[in-house]
Amino acid sequence: MKIKWRDYQGHRGYDELIAPDGQPRPGCEALIAHLNSLGERGLRARQRAAEQAIVEMGITFTVYSEGQNIDRAWPLDIIPRVIPAAEWQRVARGLEQRLQALNLFIDDLYHEQKILRDGVVPAELVASSREFLAQCRGVSPPLGVWAHICGTDLVRDEHGVIRVLEDNLRVPSGVSYMLENRAVMKRVFPELFANASIAPVDDYPNRLFDLLASLSPRPGDAPEIVVMTPGVFNSAYFEHAFLAQRMGAELVEGNDLVVLDDDCVYLRNIDGLKRVDVIYRRVNDAFLDPEVFRPDSLLGVRGLFRAWRKGNVALANAPGAGVADDKVIYSYVPDIIRYYLDQEPLLPNVPTWRLSEPEALAYALENLDKLVVKPANESGGYGMLVGPAATRRQLAEFRQRIQANPRNFIAQPTLYLSTAPTLCGSAIEPRHVDLRPFVLQGESTWSTPGGLTRVALRKGSLVVNSSQGGGSKDTWIVAERR
């Protein structure tokens, strides 16, 4: 059987692999030809092989349901998403530019606040932000970097333009799945990797390790680096364990660490205490240190903030970095890039209305059924309204919530996200995708080639989060043949 790519068409919007004329896009020719040669049965066999590999390799994510944490097998669609290397180079430069500017912005906010005094970003916006931590003012983390690890969500609109949907500067997750997806795909499609030039992704743990090591307050020594997890009940626990293992770092919880009178952090080992230099923490700011933040936190370490302030331990990401991934701040990022770097942004934002502005608010309330409305400080796709998919009751409810606190919301047009061919039962159908590359900043800035492609498995759905029925794809950055 030959896959009839012409039947695949008939959808508006942009497809990642197939051009409107039914032909493969540049860079996808070999892949499409290979999929065709496998036919429906061959494809299904490969999909089963992939699912088997995922179970054998123990790649899971955790969902919380009925009071129990359940490990589910990670959902991977075997048809990869392809991006030509030349296009990716431009995107990667844009991502790096963006993170550099955001770090300058955060550092400025906790020091002189020049950008507020110059009126580029309104001061009241920062003052009212939940993620701005007054306790961080005056702290100078190593290299002046606050957000070392950033997961930037990219989408491609119906005109083929790649845009930034949001920046995740707190504890972004997903990178382990990017790595595991590739490992599975190499097992399932070895012949494709042999014949094409697909950028490898498995350098990430080494890059992350080097970045963390460069933050150590005791240069010269072999630094003691740990990954700090909220624990086994966290939905990203698999990833925390995975990264710790790949970096050869200890995976710790709050009660494995202790801060002594010398304001240094120590690991509690069976043969005594051992000084810790760098903590890659996957615990949110609010739970880091009950001495400074939430006093009821059982996940944190008493005195950790003190140790960090004194420069005795490095935290990645630094506390307070989340101020720059506020969704209202997001709308100012193009201005932030111009302000600090004196450059034009290489990656555009999604057009965004700030509902704190009266005209924008009026427009949004008028057109609620056409817009996506997001609260400023949520992640994981929670608490947002997708206008076209909402019931009248939901619309009315949201209207009230917006009016009660307009500062807390932004509105964006409903993006018709690009699609990619996805194996759905016995057919190949277009499904909407986004992309989360991971960007690291230490002494230099670096982006993963590609990233984690997430796919909305339900027909027509735009929600790609794995906690809400999303799947994933391997992402191939493919060098075109000369």
Partner 1 sequence: MLSSVAIRCYWTGRYLERAENMARLVAVYSDLLLDLPGEAGVDWRTLIDVCGSRAAFERYRGWMLERSAVRFLTAEPDNPGSILSSIRFARENLRTLRDVVPREGFEVVNELYLFAEARLGRATQRRARGELLDQVVGHCQRMTGLLAGTMLHAEPYQFIRIGRHLERADMTSRILDVAGDLLEKDERVLAAHGTSLWVNVLRSASAYQAYRLAVRSRIAPLRVVHFLLREPTFPRSVRHCLEQIASAVAQLPVHDAVLQEVAAVRQAVDALNLRELVREALHREMDALQRRLIGLHEVMERTWFFPAYQAIARP
User: Applying CB under 8 A, which residues contact partner 1?
Assistant: 58, 231-232, 241, 244-245, 250-253, 255-256, 258, 260, 262, 267-275
DSSP 266-335: EEEETTEEEE--EEEE-S-HHHH-TTTS-TT-SSS-TTHHHHHHTTSSEEESPTTGGGGG-HHHHTTHHH
Give the C-alpha separation, 255 to 216, whole Å: 22
CB 281, min distance to partner 1, A: 16
CA of residue 33 relative to chain centroid, distance: 32
Determine phi and psi for 198, rounding to 5 degrees. -105, 125
CB 231, min distance to partner 1, A: 8
CB 302, min distance to partner 1, A: 13
Residue nearer to partner 1 on the CB measure, 47 or 60:
60
Alpha-helical (H) ranges within 389-440 are 392-404
Rounded CA Rg of the chain: 23
Q: SS3 for 198-233, per residue? A: ECCCCCHHHHHHHHHHHCCCCCCCCCCEEEECCCCC
Residue nearer to partner 1 on the CB measure, 232 or 396:
232
CB 263, min distance to partner 1, A: 13
CB 332, min distance to partner 1, A: 42
Residue nearer to partner 1 on the CB measure, 123 or 232:
232
Nearest to 2 by CA among 25, 26, 32: 32
Residue nearer to partner 1 on the CB measure, 250 or 335:
250
Residue nearer to partner 1 on the CB measure, 127 or 232:
232
Three-state secondary structure call for residue 351: coil
Q: Which DSSP symbol is given to 189?
A: -
Give the C-alpha separation, 482 to 462, whole Å: 36
Residue nearer to partner 1 on the CB measure, 161 or 232:
232
Three-state secondary structure call for residue 41: helix
CB 177, min distance to partner 1, A: 17
CB 235, min distance to partner 1, A: 14
Residue nearer to partner 1 on the CB measure, 37 or 255:
255
CB 241, min distance to partner 1, A: 6
CB 405, min distance to partner 1, A: 40
Residue nearer to partner 1 on the CB measure, 57 or 479:
57
Determine phi and psi for 163, rounding to 5 degrees. -125, 155
Give the C-alpha separation, 431 to 342, whole Å: 38
CB 184, min distance to partner 1, A: 16
Residue nearer to partner 1 on the CB measure, 57 or 395:
57
From the number of C-beta atoms within 10 Å of its C-beta (0-12, 13-18, 19+), residue 119 rates as exposed
Q: Which whole-number Å values give the CA distances from 82 to 78, 85, 158, 188, 454, in the listed order?
A: 12, 9, 17, 17, 13
Residue nearer to partner 1 on the CB measure, 283 or 462:
283
CB 82, CB 478: distance < 8 Å = yes
